[in-house]
Amino acid sequence: MFRFRFCTEMIRTKVPKTALNRFISSFNQSRSLQTLSFATVEAEAVSGSQPAEVQNLVQGTWKGSSNLNTVVDPLNGEPFIKVAEVDETGVQPFVESLSKCSKSGLHNPFRSPERYLLYGDISTKAAHMLSQPEVSNFFTRLIQRVSPKSYQQAFAEVFVTQKFFENFCGDQVRFLARSFSVPGNHLGQQSHGFRWPYGPVVIVTPFNFPLEIPVLQLMGALYMGNKPLLKVDSKVSIVMDQMLRLLHQCGLPKDDVDFINSDGKTMNKLLLEAKPRMTLFTGSSRVAEKLAVDLKGRVKLEDAGFDWKILGPDVQEVDYIAWVCDQDAYACSGQKCSAQSIVFVHENWASTSLISKMKALAERRRLEDLTVGPVLTVTTEAMLEHMNNLLKISGSKLLFGGEALENHSIPNIYGAIKPTAVYIPLEEILKENNFELVTKEIFGPFQVVTEYKQDELPKVLDALERMHAHLTAAVVSNDLLFLQEVIGRSVNGTTYAGMRARTTGAPQNHWFGPAGDPRGAGIGTPEAIRLVWSCHREVIYDVGPVPKHWEIPPST
């Protein structure tokens, strides 16, 4: 029965056919659910009566802790995961582990180059394991348990991770360290540019993508020769606990990666004591700015995004545009750093049914299939208070939503509201006393909608210029001159342009990350890995020969 439900769910949610075919093949081969050799939990069985446990990994050994943080099920409030958290008195083993790694890393082009091949092999094995339906379903369901989202949204995270591993099989890891040479001034002189690791590094990642973000950044760090310490939000760290065990089975040396569970205060103490050569932080802008100061700028940041979408003057494909707007704003209950926060709608769309279609799509979302669900960082009261503050702005109005979810058992420490949209006039948004409030990121199913006239594009571009976070954006138009104007006057690092443009989506085939900030971090591609996890080193060979009859010249 379980397999039947899983199969029909994959069909209903339009999971890629290759993944579905693999599952059906596995189903035909075996009628019993096999225990996964790497796993220490069963995603379906985790509950108050059978709580899962999350450990720490340091210097090659999994360790527990007397300091247990109990995580509650976000759907019913039942304590169901015990996380062994390290307190401030327990950071020393992690500090010592990082200190054992030199600045030249675990490998580099001149040291242990065979490790580039090792990580190509690890990637091959990990890609194969994640392609197995029972493994991909295990991680999909585990993600759903701790960061509730629809099956397809959770499966997409596993699918992207598997494809990322496929991209770095075989020789692809060593190709990341490709160097170049330039002829010198005389015989025997050549300059060579190399990609060099930082050595001891730290990765801090959030709750909303508990597999994809930490795996892609972790593997990028390892590929380039670094020794990473990984810290994932404790609410979801069970996912990476299990993923690391899978990677160990695929050949990852156990002492190459440390894994810690702790609160923010403890982690900050560890960072100050360990002094990592580089820290990658994905999360809120407030914490990112603090880390930048504490770590004296040795950071790469993929922080918050108040992400915008502009609908251009060429009206077309209203059903499709409405669907993409709904997905961008409300998939994963809006808990994506790339979620659509504001949409600027050209006046030509006013006569269409766009808003009514967006409303209808938003209203079909249900807690039962997790197309809307708990918001893990913003309470219901906080989201509704923000909405009410926006509705005090002159000319604003509630387009749809604006109410708490009903008939649920989501604990009140989390948020639960219906997908919501508030209309605010463009002129009011641009007012100094309104702009900061309107552009406040609400990490939940919430967006702002506004309209602009044909001659008001400069005002829209002014609004984009005044925003502080420049992660993702969408320019929905096939008008090339319009596209040129908007793209040329904006800066967001991942920008979709064209009739099918969106704000969300971080597949393995393109860069995902902010722009406009020298600390900006990318994810997913070879360019992102090189930028974040390596630096440039120049080696100039000058071996001679010294010219015959050379004499010591006068002093200069």
Catalytic residue among 302, 325, 332, 451: 302
Query: How far is the C-alpha of 332 from the C-alpha of 500, rounded, in Å?
Result: 20
CA atoms within a 13 Å half-sphere pointing along the CA-CB vector of 172: 18
Helix residue ranges, H only, 331-445: 354-363, 380-391, 426-429, 432-438
Distance CA 413, CA 111 (A): 50
To the query of whether residue 166 is one of the catalytic residues in this protein, the response is no
Residue 58 structure tokens: 């340091």
CA distance 23 to 20: 5
Torsion of CA 9, 13, 18, 23, to 10 degrees: -10
**Nearby residues of 547 by Cβ (< 8 Å), 6 or more positions away:** none
172 closest CA partner among 180, 181, 182, 163: 163
Rounded CA-CA distance 245/254 in Å is 9
Q: Which of 424, 443, 444 is nearest to 434 (CA)?
A: 424
Is residue 302 part of the annotated active site? The answer reads yes
Please check whether residue 512 is in contact with residue 522, taking contact to mean a CB–CB distance below 8 angstroms: yes
CA distances from 472 to 31, 328, 331, 501, 533 (A): 44, 11, 16, 11, 22
d(CA 386, CA 405): 17
Which residues lie closer than 8 Å to 516 by C-beta, 6 or more apart?
470, 491, 492, 493
Cα–Cα distance measured from residue 405 to residue 23, given in angstroms and rounded to the nearest whole number = 34
Q: Give the 3-state secondary structure of residue 441.
A: coil
Query: From the candidates 85, 332, 337, 451, which is the catalytic residue?
Result: 337
Strands annotated E in 272-334:
278-282, 299-302, 307-311
Q: How far apart, in Å, are the Cα atoms of 87 and each of 34, 56, 232, 261, 302?
A: 37, 12, 15, 9, 26
Max Cα distance, the chain (Å): 94
Residue 539: strand, helix, or coil: strand
Residue written as token pair 């010591």: 552
- d(C-alpha 338, C-alpha 327), whole Å: 11
Task: Report how far residue 89's alpha carbon sits from residue 13's, in angstroms, rounded to the nearest whole number.
Answer: 47
Active-site residue set: 302, 337
